[in-house]
Amino acid sequence: MKKIQMVDLLSQYNKIEQEINEAVINVIKSSAFINGPEVKLFASELQDYLHVKHVIPCGNGTDSLQVSMMALNLKPGDEVITTTFTFIATAEVIALLGLTPVLVDVCPDTFNMDPEAVKKAITPKTKAIVPVHLFGQCAEMETLLNMAKEHNLYVIEDTCQAIGAEYTFSNGIVKKAGTMGTASGVSFFPSKNLGCYGDGGAVFTDDDELAEKLRMTVNHGMKVRYYHDAIGVNSRLDSIQAAILRIKLRHLDEYIKARQIAAGKYNDAFAGCDKLVTPYVAPNSTHVFHQYTLVTKGVDRNGLHQHLMDKNVPCAIYYPVPLHKQKAYLDPRYKDGMFPVSEMLCDSVISLPMHTELDDEQIKYITDSVLEYVNK
Ligand SMILES: *Cc1c(COP(=O)(O)O)cnc(C)c1O
């Protein structure tokens, strides 16, 4: 059996090796390493794929969220609502800009922002909501967008884990993750569903004026060279990464399919096991399975984690500690037990290997290893 990996980027590369190598060498020969034609072509191809007006490439997913908040002129004292069950970057950029992160709990089935909790968290200081499409499934956008409209709030989607996921509104309109809010940030970190071979990111928006501000923000606040109209940052997508992403974008739908097929096989193997809750897929969103995450019930989760590691099955706990319990984010407003769903999830979730190259033999070994421990 081929060695099981959490993410198998080498096997994926082997299938597109020639295309990738050629593209990389072409950039090197062109010497257009920064803001070269590949970056513009990639942005325009991604716009077409997403059906969004503007894709503004930047250095990484964290930056994509930060520059969105900067370009929207969020100011110290403004409150930004996000969930306590996410990767730290989401809240980090809020805090870094001197804004106030306001944390809310998630829904127990989708692990995404609970709209009821958001409603209760809105105050006159609230300026934005940052829903995270966690693990590859869209948050409950219709409810959140309506709430945002009613209270005049920006919606900044954290699409880092969900590029390609589709959300269906009650009127039948289908939109891709990251194209529903005011702006959206995405990461092209190697292990993400559309990953490059280094760091990369982008912001999506349909708003022309905001797009122009975003382009300035990622480029030292300048529109005309050496004239700086705003305080910006330096956040760029390299041409080499853009060239790699152009190739991988052509395979994205097929990569999503491969993840969904692997998830289906996991689901089949765990069906009927009442100690494992397999991922719930909401009727109004597709799931692109950035992670395949089980909720364990009455199982020693850490024992299962160790058992799998001992059997050479890589696995991971996303996430072991909710944001409100992180040392850097401790806040007297938040007490233990205030976000019971997130706390329960942190104690009981486990994510299995998930990538585009899992084969049946590997899946059988992984699921047998899980069941061996759970049913013991
Ligand atoms: C990966 C990720 C980020 C950050 O992306 P980077 O490219 O690593 O900066 C932000 N939010 C979520 C939910 C992520 O998964």
171 and 237 inside one domain: yes
Question: DSSP letters along 332-352, please?
Answer: TT--TTSSHHHHHHHHHEEEE
Total of domains in the chain: 2
Distance CA 315, CA 323 (A): 21
- Nearest atom in ligand 1 to the alpha carbon of residue 188 is 7
For the chain, the C-alpha Rg in angstroms (whole number) is 21
Query: CA 49 → CA 16, 138, 182, distances in Å?
Result: 20, 17, 18
Residues 179 and 209 in one domain: yes
If one residue of 187, 203, 293 were mutated to test the ligand 1 pocket, choosing by the most ligand atoms within 8 A of its CB, it would be 187
Name the domain boundary from 214, 249, 284.
Answer: 249
pLDDT confidence of residue 74: 97
Identify whether residues 190 and 263 lie together within a single domain: no
Confirm or reject: Cβ of 132 under 6 Å from ligand 1.
yes
Say which amino acid occupies 193: N
**290 CA to centre of ligand 1 in angstroms:** 12
**Which residue's CA is the closest to the ligand 1 atom numbered 6?**
61
Q: Which atom of ligand 1 is nearest to the CA of 86?
A: 13
- For residue 160 and ligand 1, the question of a CB distance below 6 A is answered with yes
* Together in a domain, 188 and 90: yes
Do 27 and 87 belong together in one domain? yes
**In a shared domain, residues 49 and 165:** yes
Ligand 1 neighbour 241 (Cβ under 6 A) = no
If one counts every other C-beta atom within 10 angstroms of the C-beta of residue 208, the result is 10
Instruction: Quote the pLDDT of residue 278.
Output: 98
Is the CA virtual torsion 121, 161, 112, 319 positive or negative?
Answer: negative
The pLDDT assigned to 179 comes to: 98
Q: Hey, what amino acid is at 180? A: M
pLDDT in tens, 105-161: 999 999 999 999 999 999 999 999 999 999 999 999 999 999 999 999 999 999 999
The answer, yes or no, to whether any atom of ligand 1 lies below 6 A from the CB of 293, is no
* Mutation pick for ligand 1 pocket among 87, 193, 235 (CB with most ligand atoms within 8 Å): 87
pLDDT at res. 315: 97
The reply to whether ligand 1 has any atom less than 6 angstroms from the CB of 90 is yes
CA of 16 to the centre of ligand 1 (A): 25
Last residue of a domain, one of 229, 249, 269: 249
Domain end call among 234, 249, 264: 249
Among 160, 191, 196, 289, the mutation site with the greatest number of ligand 1 atoms within 8 A of its Cβ is 160
Q: For the chain of 376 residues, list the mean pLDDT of each consecutive stretch of 10.
A: 96 98 98 96 98 98 98 97 96 96 97 98 98 98 98 98 98 98 98 98 98 97 92 97 98 98 98 97 97 98 98 97 94 92 98 98 98 96
235 ligand 1 Cβ < 6 A? no
Domain that holds residue 296: 252-374
Whether residues 310 and 289 fall in one domain? yes
In ligand 1, which atom is closest to the CA atom of 189? 7
